[in-house]
Structure 1
Amino acid sequence: MNPSSARRIGRRIGMVGIAAAAVVATLTGCSTKAQSGSNGQYGFDEAAQSKGSTITVWVDATRAPAVKAFEQANPSIKVKTVTYDGSSNGSNSFKTKMGLFDRSGSGWPDVVFSSQNNDASWASQKTAGKQPFAAVLDKGLVPQSTLSNFTKGSLDVCTVDGKVYCLRNDLAQNVLWYNKTLLTKFGYSLPTTWEEYQQLGAKVAKDHPGYIIGSVGDPWPEIYMAGSKCGANEVTGARTMSVDTESTECKRATDLIDAGVANKSLSTLSVFSPDFVKKYSGKVLMMPGPVWFSGAIFNNAQSLNVPKGQLGVANPLPWGSDQAVTGNVGGGTWFISSHSKNLAAATKFAQYVTTADAYQVDQAPGYPAYAPAATKWLAKQSSSGYYATDLSAVTTAAGEVWSGWGSPAFSQEAIWAKVMSPLITSGKSTTSNLAAWGTEIKNQAQVNGYTVK
């Protein structure tokens, strides 16, 4: 489980083979003519193909093992690897660099990994009259039999105007992690709603000061805000979105944050900071957060290093009688370039790293978006004997990611870091500043060409 779109420090074939072979058979040719217009063979302008040419793949450091796994399985395909930051923390490096290649008219990589979930929003669109970077995948380039096996909803972030432009690497659905040993020792019951969670925080602050039930030190509104159905980020079309940060759903989430910060049951330190590890090792009673928290934070000798048999996982919490929903922090995406001169190899690569057991089950640190691999990956985690509970909550959460939290062409994390994080670290009210948060979202949306409702 890995922080693919989080802070840099933390983010760390039967049928598949048949489908990939079919794609190769369809695409191969020493040098085939480029297709013209969006009605080309795969729904986009295709460059003249060059069989056997080297494909250039951009990845972050965490995904480097995926490239090596592919090369070992496909020694005849030549791959040039370029390591970059994966657009982590809203750096926008992917978009910025592709814009430079658009202006020069050359240099585009064949495949790109991004740690962000919002890149399809711009990569699917023309920029300054130039062809969109992302290839359309669901018009024959990637078999429907492959696409249909991704977890329901996981390709939503890749879909713009009904077309699929990327493949999801992993899901980063939020669950409730908890220390079963500490809960039993202190005589606490596991909360079943956010209201009970907040009440428990007050009790922990009074009876066991120094222990925490979560952290708000990282700029991830996807945990508490998305989990409350706060409508701050609903994308309604390719260039339209709705922003409402002053609803009851938003206010109840920030009230919870403000209360937890005030009584110190919520940490204001980044979970990846040395200070967090020093202060809270052995003192994290529970923590809502993504699936990859288990390996990045809890079962990590360089972090909290929770002993075997203590860590449990529970379903996402609902508010009152509402149906539970959750957000996701990260979950990377793979793009095939519409400019690629070796679509056969590029497509085979993208399919392999997202679906093949040799990477997604045997090596990948996060919960695979490809459902057959996810089942095997989860079984492997369960068999480790590390966890104090079964991991069924992870599967449940995968189906509860709230679709109302969209993926526009700008970073919500960057906005949260600018507006809300300083308030949190200084102990000021986030509820009182919901309007300011909404204003900044609207400003960014309009700068990026969105019509905001």
Structure 2
Amino acid sequence: MAAAALVALSGCTPSGGGNSSEFGFTPAKQVKDSPITVWVDASREPAIKAFEAKYPDIKLNVQTYDGNASGSNSFQTKISLFDQAGSGWPDVVFSTQNNDASWASKENNGVQAFAAPLNKGWFDKDFLDGFAPGALDPLTVNGTVYGLRNDLAQSVFWYNKALFDQFGYKIPTTWEEYEQLSDKLAAEHPGYILGSVGDAFVGMDVYYWGAQAPVFQVKGNTFNSDVSAKNSTKMTEMLDHMIANGTLTKDSVFSSDFVQKYKGKALGMPGPVWFTGALFQNPDSLNVPAGQIGAGTPLHWQGEKIGTGNVGGGTWFASSHTKNLKAVKTLMEFVTSSDDYQVKLAGGYPAYAAAAKKWIAKQATGGYFVGDFQNTVVQAAGQVWSGWGYPSFSAETGYSKVVLPAIAAGHTIKSVAPQWEQEMKNEAQVQGYTVSK
């Protein structure tokens, strides 16, 4: 940002929902060298440490929170309290929920929207154009960009080549082959698994989104969920079948039980690119040795075009209330595009195209992965199914409230599917959406 622009902003004061400035919002009065408050989850702390090393003169107040994980709504709840108080907002927030732009872009009782517009003059067009095609779509409301994607989270089929070779199995490419493999694995090698249903993000984003099931859709202000549609029913029946034969565990992939039970026993699993660092290369998780893990074609229904899910990835939001626009812009650009974080330290596929190219090359040439890892992951980035929605509530909350407890109690997903659908529709109505019958 030009120095002259910062000087011009210094006399501005906040107002409820105005957008009188050249940036599409009314900035607060700027305070030179004002410390900025940054909220991150534990996984993003390396990004902040890298930033502090690069920019030691920018003062940060770093606060760690749950990252709004599993649709906890902690981000929105906290911001609403600050809106009521008229002060206290953080300057930058990382959220695991890409749908947060739907509420963060709106006024709250006359208070200016928390998320600042980024493509109305504040951030350079050349920088914004550097994100992968479609990466900023979930954060774009009526043509205005309200956040920056941290990483893309396309799913692939992760496989352990050493185990596949040992068992003499063929790597599946379709959901049908995956289910057939589960019966073979259950009969011949009980105790080995092909995935987990113990997390809402896996159930919703990996399986139902990857199955192109219309259970979470938004068109305009209308929400639709149809758990009885063909692809929804097929996925429900497949999951129930694999839970019953023991090849899908009920344990969360982030639980200690998962690691204790299945370290060395995960034959394969569909999952996001960020499983690379979160599970496979993580010393505290599966910690699979180099030369065993590969990325296979995203699973899809036989005869249908590939349509993978987008499993989070996360978003950085800049506050419209910040008193240090220059520092916020510097941080936002660094954490999303800098090689110092996105290439050297990040565990997921960067949303920023130039960083992604370097990240994938580093992963592919590091000797850890087997097979055509690079091409598979890059292709999957462009195969995310566009039929999923981004309303002002998370896809994970209804699943967590209805489906996960049912699975844990030994019930089938099919038995609670109507209640699950109704829960999502209830959430939509509370948020002001028209619900499709």
TM-score of the aligned structures, taking structure 2 as reference length: 0.94
Shift of 1:116: 1.5
Return the alpha-carbon distance in structure 1 between the equivalents of residues 9 and 35 of structure 2. 13
Over residues 169-197 of structure 1, what are the superposed CA-to-partner deviations in whole Å (9 max), with x where a residue is unaligned? 11222111001111111111111211111
- Say if 1:262 and 1:351 are closer, same or farther in 2 by CA, change over 3 A: same
Shift of 1:389: 1.9
1:9 corresponds in structure 2 to: none
Match of 2:32 among 34, 46, 51: 51
Match of 2:409 among 416, 426, 440: 426
The one-letter code sitting in structure 1 at the alignment partner of 2:114 is F
The one-letter code sitting in structure 2 at the alignment partner of 1:438 is E
Match of 1:181 among 143, 156, 162: 162
The one-letter code sitting in structure 1 at the alignment partner of 2:371 is T
Over residues 70-106 of structure 1, what are the superposed CA-to-partner deviations in whole Å (9 max), with x where a residue is unaligned? 2222233222222222112222111111111101111
The one-letter code sitting in structure 1 at the alignment partner of 2:217 is E
1:103 corresponds in structure 2 to: 84
Q: Please identify, of 361-370 and 47-56, the stretch whose mean Cα deviation from structure 2 is larger.
A: 47-56
- Say if 1:372 and 1:24 are closer, same or farther in 2 by CA, change over 3 A: farther
Over residues 345-399 of structure 1, what are the superposed CA-to-partner deviations in whole Å (9 max), with x where a residue is unaligned? 2112111111111111111222111010011011111222111223221111111
1:216 corresponds in structure 2 to: 197
| 3-state SS of 2:223 partner | strand
1:41 corresponds in structure 2 to: 22
Match of 2:303 among 318, 321, 328: 321
Shift of 1:118: 1.6
Say if 2:12 and 2:26, in contact at 8 Å, map to a contact too: no
Over residues 48-74 of structure 1, what are the superposed CA-to-partner deviations in whole Å (9 max), with x where a residue is unaligned? 222322222122222222222222222
1:252 corresponds in structure 2 to: 234
RMSD: 1.7
The one-letter code sitting in structure 2 at the alignment partner of 1:357 is D
Over residues 384-430 of structure 1, what are the superposed CA-to-partner deviations in whole Å (9 max), with x where a residue is unaligned? 21112232211111111222222222222121111111222233221
Q: How many residues align?
A: 431
The one-letter code sitting in structure 2 at the alignment partner of 1:246 is S
Say if 1:29 and 1:49, in contact at 8 Å, map to a contact too: no
Is the counterpart of residue 411 in structure 1 residue 401 in structure 2?
no
- Say if 1:81 and 1:274 are closer, same or farther in 2 by CA, change over 3 A: closer
Return the alpha-carbon distance in structure 2 between the equivalents of residues 343 and 174 of structure 1. 35
* Structure 2 residue runs without a partner (length 5+): none
2:98 corresponds in structure 1 to: 117
Shift of 1:261: 0.7
The one-letter code sitting in structure 2 at the alignment partner of 1:317 is L
The one-letter code sitting in structure 2 at the alignment partner of 1:175 is V
Q: Please identify, of 32-41 and 111-120, the stretch whose mean Cα deviation from structure 2 is larger.
A: 32-41
| 3-state SS of 1:50 partner | coil
Say if 1:29 and 1:50, in contact at 8 Å, map to a contact too: no
Say if 1:23 and 1:348, in contact at 8 Å, map to a contact too: no
Over residues 244-266 of structure 1, what are the superposed CA-to-partner deviations in whole Å (9 max), with x where a residue is unaligned? 22200100111110110111111
The one-letter code sitting in structure 2 at the alignment partner of 1:177 is W
- Say if 1:284 and 1:397 are closer, same or farther in 2 by CA, change over 3 A: same
Return the alpha-carbon distance in structure 2 between the equivalents of residues 226 and 29 of structure 1. 46
Q: Please identify, of 26-35 and 130-139, the stretch whose mean Cα deviation from structure 2 is larger.
A: 26-35
1:143 corresponds in structure 2 to: 124
Is the counterpart of residue 444 in structure 1 residue 412 in structure 2?
no
2:377 corresponds in structure 1 to: 394
Return the alpha-carbon distance in structure 1 between the equivalents of residues 286 and 2 of structure 2. 45
Shift of 1:129: 2.2
Return the alpha-carbon distance in structure 1 between the equivalents of residues 9 and 120 of structure 2. 23
| 3-state SS of 1:107 partner | coil
Over residues 137-195 of structure 1, what are the superposed CA-to-partner deviations in whole Å (9 max), with x where a residue is unaligned? 11111111111111122112211122110001112221110011111111111112111
Return the alpha-carbon distance in structure 2 between the equivalents of residues 419 and 308 of structure 1. 38
Shift of 1:231: 1.2
Say if 1:215 and 1:271, in contact at 8 Å, map to a contact too: yes
- Say if 1:274 and 1:79 are closer, same or farther in 2 by CA, change over 3 A: closer
Shift of 1:24: 5.7
Match of 1:191 among 172, 177, 181: 172
Q: Please identify, of 248-257 and 213-222, the stretch whose mean Cα deviation from structure 2 is larger.
A: 213-222
Is the counterpart of residue 203 in structure 1 residue 184 in structure 2?
yes
Shift of 1:28: 4.6
| 3-state SS of 1:346 partner | helix
Is the counterpart of residue 364 in structure 1 residue 346 in structure 2?
yes
Return the alpha-carbon distance in structure 1 between the equivalents of residues 210 and 9 of structure 2. 51
Return the alpha-carbon distance in structure 2 between the equivalents of residues 358 and 23 of structure 1. 24
| 3-state SS of 1:32 partner | coil
The one-letter code sitting in structure 1 at the alignment partner of 2:148 is L
Return the alpha-carbon distance in structure 1 between the equivalents of residues 66 and 188 of structure 2. 43
| 3-state SS of 1:228 partner | coil
1:307 corresponds in structure 2 to: 289
Shift of 1:39: 4.2
1:13 corresponds in structure 2 to: none
Return the alpha-carbon distance in structure 2 between the equivalents of residues 141 and 235 of structure 1. 29
Return the alpha-carbon distance in structure 2 between the equivalents of residues 70 and 24 of structure 1. 22
Q: Percent identity of the aligned residues? A: 54
2:262 corresponds in structure 1 to: 280
Return the alpha-carbon distance in structure 1 between the equivalents of residues 101 and 90 of structure 2. 16
Is the counterpart of residue 289 in structure 1 residue 271 in structure 2?
yes
Return the alpha-carbon distance in structure 2 between the equivalents of residues 113 and 408 of structure 1. 18
2:252 corresponds in structure 1 to: 270
2:59 corresponds in structure 1 to: 78
Shift of 1:30: 8.2
Return the alpha-carbon distance in structure 2 between the equivalents of residues 361 and 263 of structure 1. 40
Q: Please identify, of 76-85 and 302-311, the stretch whose mean Cα deviation from structure 2 is larger.
A: 76-85
2:321 corresponds in structure 1 to: 339
Return the alpha-carbon distance in structure 2 between the equivalents of residues 68 and 263 of structure 1. 45
- Say if 1:51 and 1:90 are closer, same or farther in 2 by CA, change over 3 A: same
Return the alpha-carbon distance in structure 2 between the equivalents of residues 217 and 174 of structure 1. 17
Return the alpha-carbon distance in structure 2 between the equivalents of residues 320 and 77 of structure 1. 53
Q: Please identify, of 314-323 and 275-284, the stretch whose mean Cα deviation from structure 2 is larger.
A: 275-284
* Structure 1 residue runs without a partner (length 5+): 1-21
The one-letter code sitting in structure 2 at the alignment partner of 1:33 is C
Say if 2:335 and 2:341, in contact at 8 Å, map to a contact too: yes
Say if 1:101 and 1:108, in contact at 8 Å, map to a contact too: yes
